[in-house]
Structure formats: C-alpha cells, structure tokens
C-alpha cells in the first residue's frame, strides 16, 4: 500500500510528512521517566526530549501525569510544575511539542509556554479543553478511553468495539471543529479500556478510521496487549512486537505513531519507505 500524504496545520507553520510521523513519548513523571523512581530535573527532561527530536521524532509529547492502567490522578499544581518549564526549554530549542494532558488548565499553560498540539486522552469531552485549544488556535488529539486510567482495565465491554470507538471519535472531532479547534487527530486509544481482541480489531481498523479524513495516531508502544501476543512480560523488551504493529498501522494509513523507541522506529520506517520506492537507493 502506498503511504498517504498528511498535513497537520500548526500555529507556527504546517508540518507534512510521508507515511507516518513519529511522536516521541516524554513522560515527566517519577514512575515512568527512569528506573530511579525520582522526579527528573527540568534539565534532564529537556535533554531527553532533544534526544527524541534528534533520533527522528517529528513531535515530542510531554506528559506530567501517568495514564497507565491503575494510575491515580495528579493534582493540577503538580502537573503544571512538571511540564511547563520542560515545554519552555524544548520549544526554545526549536522542538515541536505536544502536551499530553486531560486538564484544560494544563493545556492552556502548555500552549502559552510554546506547545503546538494538545493530546487529550480524555477525548476532548471537556468544553473547557475545547475552549483552550480554540483560543490558542491549536490542533488537538482526541483519544478514546473507556472509563478512567484507575479503572479502565476492569473488564471493558463493547458490543462492536470498532463501530463504537469510530462513532465516539467522529463525534468528538466534529464537536471540536465546531468549537473552533483548527484540526483534530483521532486516536483509537489502544490499551485504554480494551482487552486483547479489542486492541487487535482497532489496529486492523486503522484504514477505516483514516478514511474519514482526520489524521489517525496509533500508540501501541510497549503496551500490555503486545506482551499478551508475544509472551514478553517486560514492557521495555516489547520493541519488536511494537515495530510490527506500528509498521502495519503505517501501511494502513496511520499519520502518527506515538512511540518510546524513536531511533528504532525511524530506522524501520526508513527501510519500509525504501522498499516502497519512496527513498533514494544508495
């Protein structure tokens, strides 16, 4: 399948890419930034974000609240303290930054600090989030999640997962555009209130979701469903399975891949593009 061409308007100019662009994950939290269990300094987090950019990330996604299954909410002031200085440091260095948050106040502060995209795992359901994005002229990601991070993996149920997720994403995209948000990326929310079969069905439906005209972001990186398929318990050891899912999604029309391992994905996508005849052969 030939890679599609996507354009995502951003306040400071348009980004366009062939195939799938990489969104590098930068979780500025003590439970996911490193194995140390401590909160990283601003300098450490900025350095990590610069590495992601240098490895090939089109966008660096900065988040100050863990949304892994069972995670508790972080107070507003703490989340602001974690992300704002990091975003300022990255944008000062020319990095395109998105902010991964469910809180409109954090989104507004991040956009003021230079972020160009809001990644809302809450699905843009909060009118205040729509207002923050529209006021700043910032595009946003609407992700599907059944339940909340603390409870979402407690027996999620769907009559037809693809149709239900598709309907939710299209409804939220339409509402966001009507509220003045300039563009909406849709994300099926792999692992967010989904069992193994739900996740696999949604990956297979990437092309169906992309056909509606909104850029689709797929984030399978290190997720537990890959561990279920491969038998690999350690999340950091799930890179081969992650690459397989993400390359399939890219071939099916995903515009963005949200990943932890940027360098490996950049290499895999470069080889994939070469096989498609979209790069110069050496």
- CA distances to 25, 127, 214 from 133, in Å: 21, 10, 17
How far apart, in whole angstroms, are the C-alpha atoms of residue 100 and residue 201?
Answer: 25
How far apart, in whole angstroms, are the C-alpha atoms of residue 272 and residue 269?
Answer: 5
How far apart, in whole angstroms, are the C-alpha atoms of residue 193 and residue 7?
Answer: 30
How far apart, in whole angstroms, are the C-alpha atoms of residue 99 and residue 177?
Answer: 19
How far apart, in whole angstroms, are the C-alpha atoms of residue 140 and residue 135?
Answer: 12
* Close Cβ partners of 198 (under 8 Å, ≥ 6 residues apart): 156, 158, 161
- CA distances to 118, 142, 258 from 198, in Å: 25, 18, 19
How is 166-233 classified by DSSP, letter by letter? HHHHHHHHHHHHHTT-S-EEEE--TTSS--HHHHHHHHHTHHHHHTTSS-BEE--TT-HHHHHHH---
Annotated active-site positions, please? 223, 258
């Amino acid at each position: 399948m030939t890679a599609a061409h996507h354009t995502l308007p951003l306040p400071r100019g348009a980004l366009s890419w062939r195939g799938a662009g990489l969104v590098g994950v930068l979780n500025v939290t003590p439970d996911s930034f490193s194995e140390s269990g401590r909160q990283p300094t601003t300098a450490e987090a900025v350095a990590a974000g610069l590495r992601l950019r240098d490895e090939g990330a089109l966008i660096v996604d900065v988040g100050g609240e863990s949304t892994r299954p069972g995670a508790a909410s972080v107070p507003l002031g703490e989340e602001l303290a974690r992300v704002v200085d990091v975003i300022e440091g990255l944008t000062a260095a020319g990095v395109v930054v998105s902010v991964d948050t469910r809180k409109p106040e954090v989104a507004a502060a991040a956009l003021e600090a230079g972020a160009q995209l809001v990644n809302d795992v809450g699905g843009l359901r909060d009118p205040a989030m729509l207002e923050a994005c529209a006021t700043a002229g910032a595009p946003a990601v609407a992700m599907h999640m059944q339940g909340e991070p603390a409870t979402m993996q407690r027996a999620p149920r769907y009559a037809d997962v693809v149709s239900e997720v598709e309907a939710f994403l299209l409804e939220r995209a339409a509402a966001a555009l009507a509220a003045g948000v300039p563009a909406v990326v849709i994300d099926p929310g792999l692992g967010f209130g989904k069992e193994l079969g739900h996740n696999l069905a949604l990956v297979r439906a990437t092309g169906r979701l992309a056909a509606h005209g909104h850029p689709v972001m797929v984030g399978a990186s290190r997720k537990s469903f890959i561990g279920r398929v491969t038998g690999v318990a350690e999340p950091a050891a799930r890179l081969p399975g992650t690459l397989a899912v993400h390359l399939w999604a890219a071939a099916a029309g995903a515009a963005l891949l949200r990943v932890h391992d940027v360098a490996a994905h950049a290499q895999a996508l470069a080889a994939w593009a070469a096989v498609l005849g979209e790069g110069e052969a050496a």
